[in-house]
Structure 1
């Protein structure tokens, strides 16, 4: 187990064919998500060439995006050094167009250049109190829109409920939703059931007026 003196315990748990990234004793990500993460990555890559991802996790989507022939540059922001260390141990030679940076998204988003990326995949490990912080999201999401190029896409972590995420909907007029079947592990705790339909939501910034 990896342990940060100033942060949560981080562990990659492999048991009975299951692979789980655990952060602070919680299931942050599991390997069964692969097809959903790949579908999200493929959707994102249809919107351009330069991409940004928040949350490295197991690196499933990061490697998929970087490996897409359309991708020129893919940058991943990860809060925890231990997560990056685990990724690099499993993938010692990542693609040349993939860069992993360290930082807190809620600070870094204000530092990113305007209209600098074609798409952003958003899948950080956040505590529930952060997800519920309405003021935080009101401050943050306009910055996400600012960083996207016109016509760019913002794709958050898939949902296993057919409802749009309130954190994002006020900031986009165009929203694309795809439904995909999923089967999680019996031990999975963060989905609504261990099988059924998952929904990938793609929020699209308005294109520049012609």
Structure 2
């Protein structure tokens, strides 16, 4: 999601989670906030396709509606795709909607900020990053200064890190100091009129791909 105004902290108790389908709109709500919506599909797919150009073993943080997870897992280039999800109910909703999952896909439970320290070095060709986090977490400079080097460590040489799209044309400060080469793609988007987490409900979205040299 683009920006968070809720209370979804990395160490919080499990919040209320709901899949809302109303007036043709599909929203995953976590803690009363819009965590993800179905209109994001094309942007999720574009991010997934970009990731899959760079190897065969991938990791994703945040399952959401599973749009990118299924796209990555079903790509012919993919050998393995592991998704880390913090909330059990999100996984349950996804499995109910998608009972026949591709064999390349595995889902594990856990908190990213702990799990990233446990993953083996140079174990993945790419990581897609789209967790639901509280704004206090997103703005914690010390946390990201500790965490992003761990992301770099986990990537293989030439691997990529792709965070969720932005609707502001600026590089994400959490990651930019840790990568020398960055690729940006611009894509048009049209959100729902009720979407609260983008900077406007239509315009350009930017997919940022950070390369490990």
2:39 corresponds to: 32
Residue segments in structure 2 that go unaligned for 5+ positions in a row:
1-11
1:195 corresponds to: 202
**Which of the numbers 163, 167, 173 marks the counterpart of 1:160?**
167
1:78 corresponds to: 85
1:112 corresponds to: 119
Q: State the secondary structure of the residue aligned to 1:155.
A: strand
Task: Give the TM-score, by structure 1 length.
Answer: 0.95
1:90-101 pair list within 5 angstroms: 90-101=97-108
1:96-175 pair list within 5 angstroms: 96-175=103-182
CA deviation string 1:69-123 (max 9, x = no partner): 0000000000000000000000011101100000000000000000000000000
Are 1:63 and 2:70 an aligned pair? yes
Give the 4+ runs in structure 1 shifted more than 4 A.
none
Query: CA–CA distance in 2 between the matches of 1:31 and 1:83?
Result: 15
Residue segments in structure 1 that go unaligned for 5+ positions in a row:
none
Query: CA–CA distance in 1 between the matches of 2:184 and 2:146?
Result: 25
Q: State the secondary structure of the residue aligned to 2:177.
A: helix
Are 1:12 and 2:6 an aligned pair? no
Query: CA–CA distance in 2 between the matches of 1:6 and 1:155?
Result: 27
Q: State the secondary structure of the residue aligned to 1:153.
A: strand
The Cα RMSD (Å) is: 0.8
Query: CA–CA distance in 2 between the matches of 1:193 and 1:13?
Result: 21
Query: CA–CA distance in 2 between the matches of 1:37 and 1:29?
Result: 11
Q: State the secondary structure of the residue aligned to 2:117.
A: coil
> Alignment length, in residue pairs?
202
**Which of the numbers 92, 95, 111 marks the counterpart of 1:88?**
95
Q: State the secondary structure of the residue aligned to 2:118.
A: coil
Q: Shift in Å at residue 7 of structure 1? A: 1.6
Query: CA–CA distance in 2 between the matches of 1:161 and 1:7?
Result: 30
Q: State the secondary structure of the residue aligned to 2:99.
A: coil
**Which of the numbers 10, 21, 29 marks the counterpart of 2:28?**
21
More relative contact order, 1 or 2 (CA 8 Å, 6+ apart): 2
Q: Shift in Å at residue 6 of structure 1? A: 3.6
